[in-house]
């Protein structure tokens, strides 16, 4: 077993708008936390986060989805949120995250799934759709991507990657909460103050060692780290999903400099059945526009 840090529950005691009962399962000796709200026999909304976030990001979406009849399941990846945190940076890869979520879906025997994914939730979640298509009924894709030979990485994401390399801005500061403080300061709509956003997204990580998981995500981008970023498998999934014929709804924050509005139009254009809704949001649109996302998604489902 690698060295593991488990964040004390006291770090989460003052979280705003997060009343959910903590639930846990094990994968390879590691404890994974998840939110599981709504009737167990209801259709599932599988809510997958990215970096440096965790299931807390979906707190404003879960009530509306459960009220509409969904069972909302939102895991924290190993290294994030209330899940165990391996302290060895080299342990983390997109393949490991993908395997842990595959185990999670099978262990809970999730079926009739609407995948809701954003940021790294795209590569990790869409992998499950390709490998277990019988479990999924629709996709909701938000501000994410799948690596493929035609994808053009923006200057914003290349600069983000550089900032996490040794000597870069985030390598030195290691403040995951700082990312979200900036978000709520610059995009209207969050119910959190900048200070509350910092505290909520810094809560899982009391020191540098506990931040190995978020530290590795920006250094796993396929243009910089093809093996750690699962570049070949991401491209496999992108091609496999070209034949997806069930509903797919794109909901996009158009102020995102990383995954742009034009990329959303290009990607959604692959699917004749796709819908594309645009919101005046940045990259973490769940944080500032959670209720609006639910409203748009439910409207699109009603039109299917």
pLDDT band at 172 (very low <50, low <70, confident <90, very high): low
Over residues 154-178, mean pLDDT? 86
Encode pLDDT of 210-265 as tens digits: 999 999 999 999 999 999 999 999 999 999 999 999 999 999 999 999 999 999 99
Encode pLDDT of 1-56 as tens digits: 789 999 999 999 999 999 999 999 999 999 999 999 999 999 999 999 999 999 99
Return the ∠ at Cα 55 (arms to 105 and 237), rounded to 5°: 45
Closest of 212, 176, 203, 199 to residue 30, by C-alpha: 212
pLDDT band at 173 (very low <50, low <70, confident <90, very high): low
Closest of 11, 53, 23, 4 to residue 183, by C-alpha: 53
Report d(CA 245, CA 235) in Å as an integer: 19
In Å, how far from its chain's centre is CA 91? 19
Full-model pTM: 0.97
Closest of 242, 238, 237, 299 to residue 272, by C-alpha: 242
Report d(CA 211, CA 205) in Å as an integer: 6
Provide the annotated active-site residues: 119, 256, 283
Whole-angstrom CA distances from 171 to 6, 61, 93 are 22, 32, 18
Count other Cβ atoms within 10 Å, centred on residue 195: 11
**pLDDT, mean over the chain:** 96
Q: Where are the domains of the chain?
A: 4-303
- Percentage of the chain exceeding pLDDT 70: 99
CATH class of segment(s) 4-303: alpha beta
Q: Up-side HSE of residue 205: CA atoms within 13 Å toward CB?
A: 29
Phi, psi of 201, rounded to the nearest 5 degrees = -95, -10
């Amino acid at each position: 077993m690698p060295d593991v840090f488990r964040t004390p529950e006291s770090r989460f005691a003052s979280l705003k708008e997060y009343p959910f009962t903590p639930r846990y399962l094990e994968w390879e000796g590691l404890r994974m936390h998840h939110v599981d709200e709504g009737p167990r026999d209801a259709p599932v909304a599988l809510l997958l986060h990215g970096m440096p976030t965790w299931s807390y990001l979906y707190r404003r979406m879960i009530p509306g989805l459960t009220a509409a009849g969904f069972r909302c399941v939102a895991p924290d990846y190993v290294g994030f949120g209330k899940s165990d945190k391996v302290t060895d940076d080299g342990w983390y890869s997109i393949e490991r995250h993908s395997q842990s979520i595959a185990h999670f879906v099978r262990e809970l025997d999730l079926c009739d799934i609407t995948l809701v994914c954003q940021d790294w939730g795209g590569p990790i979640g869409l992998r499950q759709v390709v490998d277990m298509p019988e479990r999924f009924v629709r996709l909701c894709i938000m501000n994410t991507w799948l690596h493929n030979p035609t994808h053009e990485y923006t200057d914003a994401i290349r600069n983000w990657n550089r900032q996490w390399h040794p000597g870069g801005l985030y390598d030195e500061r290691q403040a995951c909460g700082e990312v979200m403080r900036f978000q709520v300061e610059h995009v209207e709509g969050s119910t959190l103050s900048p200070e509350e956003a910092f505290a909520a997204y810094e809560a899982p990580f009391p020191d540098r060692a506990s931040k190995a998981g978020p530290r590795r995500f920006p250094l796993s981008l396929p243009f910089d780290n093809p093996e750690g970023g699962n570049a070949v498998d991401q491209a496999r999934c992108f091609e496999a999903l070209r034949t997806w014929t069930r509903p797919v709804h794109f909901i996009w924050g158009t102020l995102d400099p990383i995954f742009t509005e034009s990329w959303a139009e290009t990607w959604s254009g692959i699917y004749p059945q796709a819908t594309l809704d645009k919101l005046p949001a940045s990259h973490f649109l769940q944080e500032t526009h959670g209720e609006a996302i639910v409203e748009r998604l439910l409207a699109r489902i009603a039109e299917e």
